[in-house]
Structure 1
Amino acid sequence: MLRRSPHHRWTLVSRVMVGVLSLLALGGIVVAFAAFAYGRSAARQAFDPLLVGAAQDIAESISIGDEGPVIDLPVSAFGLLSLAPEDRIFYAIHGPDGALLTGYDGIPAALDTVQPRFRDWTLQDDAARFVTVSRLFSERAYAGRIYVTVGQTTRARRAMALDLTRRALFVTTFGGIALIVSALIIIRSAMRPLEVLTRDLAQRDPYDLTPMQADGPQEVRVLVGALNRFMGRLDRQVGAMKNLISDTAHQLRTPVAAIRAQAELALEDDAPRRLPRLERLVWRTRSLGRLLDQMLSRALVIHRIDNAAPTAIDLRDIALTVLDSRDHELLAPGKDVQLRIGEDAVVVLADEISLTEAVRNMLVNALRHGATPVVIGVSPTPTGSAIWVQDSGDGPPDAVRATLGQRFERSAASKGNSAGLGLSIVRAVAQAFGGEMTMATVQGGFRVSLTLPHHGAGQSQ
């Protein structure tokens, strides 16, 4: 027994919502990293100029005395840096030869820079950011660059970056919640036609195969259209099965009863009267066989119409197949059957077996009820391509022609030799593939035609 995966029990709404939540979660992670990166960048843009300003103030306060550089640290240089009270400040001043003039030893100084240069470093187990600026002296008593390095721990920077990240995440979370609620409302509204369709299908009677109303958006109309086509095929299959059962029950009861009666009478009759009884019994048996053949043939055609995919077929091949089968030699020995086809292909889109069965029934109908010679022909028409069977007789009266093609409709001339299903098979095949069956008196006799639309490059000119 197959076990259904838990994923198969999810509703369509839940699957869409899981997808939306997954995208939002992924987007939230990306936004969080982007916000933190933006916060760090903003913190650097806010604090780095303060470091540069402090270093430049110190550099501007340096003067050259008789014994060398005189350093007078200005209070204003550290005033701006004191805006971050939790951070510590470091400084170092180096001479041209790299010797420490004053400040903290071990501070990373860029002793080859002209422009301000930044560096991140860990000092006294705390992360810090340093900047080095230089001032060039060209005096008689002293010449060279003096390098001023100022650093500050990054607690305020991290706090600023985290605060910006929290603010961004707060806005993102609020927007995400609003987006989730909006998405749920929109998805539920979009899925409502499917819910209505599901409810209608659940409440529909199992034997109700009538078409459903194709309301709603395009996707729902496509789905309903596919369901209606499937139910139409199913309805035709069920209808064919019902017809076969009812026809079998109705049409076979009388022939079987007659055969049984004739057999019983033949057993009771004396020898002189037994031969006519047996001849009548054989005639009844043949009639029953023809009835069964046509009933099964019609059931086969109806089944293939809904289950076999149409293919491109040259009608000349169908005519040759029917003639080469030589069934007419057994059905009507001695009757002349001719073939009239052209050299150009006459291609239609249909099922080969169904089409062959239809043409065979057209030929049988002409041999039983028409006059010889009988002609099987293929020709193009203004509306399509036709395969036809023509006999040399006048055909039935107009009043009878109007009813031919319906199930179990027989002409008076059949005299019990027809089951009345042959032309109904032809009409069913024609309607299934977008064509028509026509009957007409033409020059030289009576013609029954099965006309189908042209197909592709095989179209006759």
Structure 2
Amino acid sequence: MNPPLPLSRRHQSVAFRLGTAMMLILVLVVLGTIIAANRYGQAAADETFDRLLRGAALQIAERISVTDGIADVDLPVSAFELLSLARTDRVFYRILGPQGETLTGYADLPLPGDGHGGDTIYRARYKGTDIRAVYLTRQLAERSISGAVSVIVAQTTGERTALANSITTQAVLIIAIAGIVLLFVAMIVVRIALRPLARIERAILSRDVNDLSPINVPAPEEVAVLVAAINRFMHRLDRRIEAMQNFVADATHQIRTPITALRAQAQLALDETDPAKLERLHRRLYARSVGLGRLADQLLSHALISHRADSAALQEIDLRRVALEAERQTRAAADEAISVELPHDDVMVRGDLVSLREAVKNLLNNAVKHGAHPVSLVVQSTHANRAAILVRDKGPGIPQALAAHIGERFTSDGIEPESAGLGLSIVSAVAASHGARLVLHHLENGGFEIGLEFEVMTS
């Protein structure tokens, strides 16, 4: 049974992140709704009660008359009945004559501030409480008196504040319920949308530990990208494991036979007293040791190439440098003369210097051991932005039967003293990892050439 994931790792799940993001969005929406609903509720309440105030002020203004040259106010009961709809609020009024004198009402009721133009609605503090007041003017044009008479009707704000709070509360409650429902539905949708990930998890966990075949699970486009990435990784891992298994199998199978032969011949040499036979045994021991050394070298080289094919980054490389380094190392090991033909200009390709050098060294070793002198190494540009590095000799070349199996390991007898059978397999692997082509030709004037053809980099 798998141990439970730590809390910090569980919090990295897609569902948790989506849920957290949606919760934050919901909180922001609710906060914005509270602010907007509060403003809307306040505006709606003000509009409602301001209409009552204005209606009361208009009724009072209509009952202002002139009697004996004096402005007279007959306060209508209906005006105050209109304002009594707000049961808990107090009402104040003040009527001012043309000269600014208070005709009736609360003489200390505050006036609107400076800058008001005619009729207006304003807020103020009166008797220790907030009030909302309407200010109206009416023109008197009598012979005995003329001018503007002002009417102020004010009301405390308790009822309108309560109405605004009620509107805000109801709006926020509706939005909060809708948000919770939306969040719940969204989490269900997220769970449904993430089901392909669960199917992929089950498909992987149900597999055998050695099964690295591609995952074939139906998935939406976004998840299919993840599946493709996993399949590419599994393919690379499968290649690594296969290369390691091949190396172990090759080393086990191929080294055991020559070591057994060496041991047997060494035992014969210990018991042999005839100098002529002893010399022949010594020569066989030497040939076997050379073949064993070459086998070990090629096994290690093949393992190196397999590793670098997946890990080494391809860089800009001049094929002339590859040719010079491969020729120098081959000549130092085999002490054979190899001619090199290089162009004057750079021949740039994308590749791994170590892998290319090993491939060319194997081609040179094959030509030296199995071909005929002279052996030459040629770098040349071919048609259509292609370049090649070729090894030529005067020998008959690769037999037709062997040419059909180039790239397979141990195509020749792996226990022969002078051949390990891995050289062309190494060259083929390098060609595949570089997108190059392995070319071989029988020359018209006699001889054979084999090498790698690349696409030339253009500036």
- Whether the TM-score (by the shorter chain) exceeds 0.5 is yes
**1:374, distance to aligned residue in structure 2 (A):** 2.0
RMSD, aligned CA: 2.6
**Pick aligned residue for 2:88 from 77, 86, 89:** 86
Mean CA deviation greater in 246-255 or 93-102 = 93-102
User: Match of 2:376?
Assistant: 375
User: Match of 2:66?
Assistant: 64
**Pick aligned residue for 1:195 from 195, 198, 217:** 198
Secondary structure of 1:83's counterpart equals: coil
Change (3 A) 1:343 1:115: farther
- Is this contact kept in 1: 2:362–2:424, CA < 8 A? yes
**Pick aligned residue for 2:179 from 160, 165, 176:** 176
User: Match of 2:273?
Assistant: 270
Amino acid at match of 1:388: L
**1:163, distance to aligned residue in structure 2 (A):** 2.7
**What are the within-5 Å matches in structure 2 for residues 178-327 of structure 1?**
178-213=181-216, 215-270=218-273, 272=275, 273-323=277-327, 325-327=328-330
Post-superposition CA distance 1:69-114 (Å, at most 9, x none) = 2111122333432332332211112345544322124322127644
User: Match of 1:129?
Assistant: 132
Q: Distance in 2 between matches of 1:134 and 1:63?
A: 14
Amino acid at match of 1:198: E
Amino acid at match of 2:378: G
User: Match of 1:119?
Assistant: 122
Q: Distance in 2 between matches of 1:434 and 1:293?
A: 25
Mean CA deviation greater in 381-390 or 237-246 = 381-390
**1:214, distance to aligned residue in structure 2 (A):** 5.5
User: Match of 2:162?
Assistant: 159
Mean CA deviation greater in 274-283 or 235-244 = 274-283
- Is this contact kept in 2: 1:400–1:411, CA < 8 A? no
Q: Percent identity?
A: 41
Mean CA deviation greater in 366-375 or 241-250 = 366-375
Q: Distance in 1 between matches of 2:334 and 2:408?
A: 23
Q: Does 1:397 find its partner at 2:399?
A: yes
Q: Does 1:358 find its partner at 2:359?
A: yes
- Is this contact kept in 2: 1:214–1:220, CA < 8 A? no
- Is this contact kept in 2: 1:332–1:367, CA < 8 A? no
**1:296, distance to aligned residue in structure 2 (A):** 0.2
- Is this contact kept in 2: 1:114–1:134, CA < 8 A? no
Q: Distance in 1 between matches of 2:386 and 2:81?
A: 98
Secondary structure of 1:80's counterpart equals: helix
Mean CA deviation greater in 274-283 or 29-38 = 274-283
Q: Does 1:148 find its partner at 2:129?
A: no
Q: Distance in 1 between matches of 2:170 and 2:378?
A: 86
Change (3 A) 1:438 1:352: same
Amino acid at match of 1:427: S
Post-superposition CA distance 1:286-309 (Å, at most 9, x none) = 111100000000000000111112
Q: Distance in 1 between matches of 2:443 and 2:224?
A: 47
Q: Distance in 1 between matches of 2:443 and 2:37?
A: 88
**1:271, distance to aligned residue in structure 2 (A):** 7.4
Amino acid at match of 2:238: D
Question: 5+ unaligned residues in a row in structure 1: which ranges?
Answer: none
Mean CA deviation greater in 264-273 or 220-229 = 264-273
- Is this contact kept in 1: 2:287–2:417, CA < 8 A? no
- Is this contact kept in 2: 1:62–1:72, CA < 8 A? yes
Q: Distance in 1 between matches of 2:113 and 2:296?
A: 111
Question: 5+ unaligned residues in a row in structure 2: which ranges?
Answer: none
**1:279, distance to aligned residue in structure 2 (A):** 3.0
Mean CA deviation greater in 295-304 or 122-131 = 122-131
**1:5, distance to aligned residue in structure 2 (A):** 6.2
- Is this contact kept in 2: 1:328–1:364, CA < 8 A? no
Q: Distance in 2 between matches of 1:46 and 1:200?
A: 66
Q: Does 1:443 find its partner at 2:447?
A: no
- Is this contact kept in 2: 1:111–1:147, CA < 8 A? no
Post-superposition CA distance 1:354-407 (Å, at most 9, x none) = 122111111111111112222222323448443222222221331221123310
Change (3 A) 1:384 1:294: same
Post-superposition CA distance 1:110-150 (Å, at most 9, x none) = 27644222222333444321121223445554344332211
- Is this contact kept in 2: 1:346–1:380, CA < 8 A? no
- Is this contact kept in 2: 1:136–1:145, CA < 8 A? yes
Change (3 A) 1:106 1:390: farther
**1:318, distance to aligned residue in structure 2 (A):** 1.6
Amino acid at match of 2:430: V
User: Match of 2:342?
Assistant: 341
Secondary structure of 2:194's counterpart equals: helix
